[in-house]
Structure 1
Amino acid sequence: MKENGRKQGAVSPCAACKLLRRRCAPDCVFAPYFPADEPQKFANVHRVFGASNVNKMLQELPMQQRGDAVSSMVYEANARIRDPVYGCVGAISSLQQQIDVLQTQLAVAQAEVVHLRMRHIPF
Structure 2
Amino acid sequence: MVSSISHIALIVRDPARTAELFASVLGAQVVADWPDGNGHQQSCARLGGVWFLLRQGTGPSCRNGDHIALGVSRDELAVCADKLATSDVEHFMAREDTALYFMDYDNHVFELDAGRSFDDMLDA
Q: TM-score, normalised by structure 1?
A: 0.24
| Larger RCO (CA within 8 A; separation ≥ 6) | 2
Task: State TM-score, norm by structure 2.
Answer: 0.24
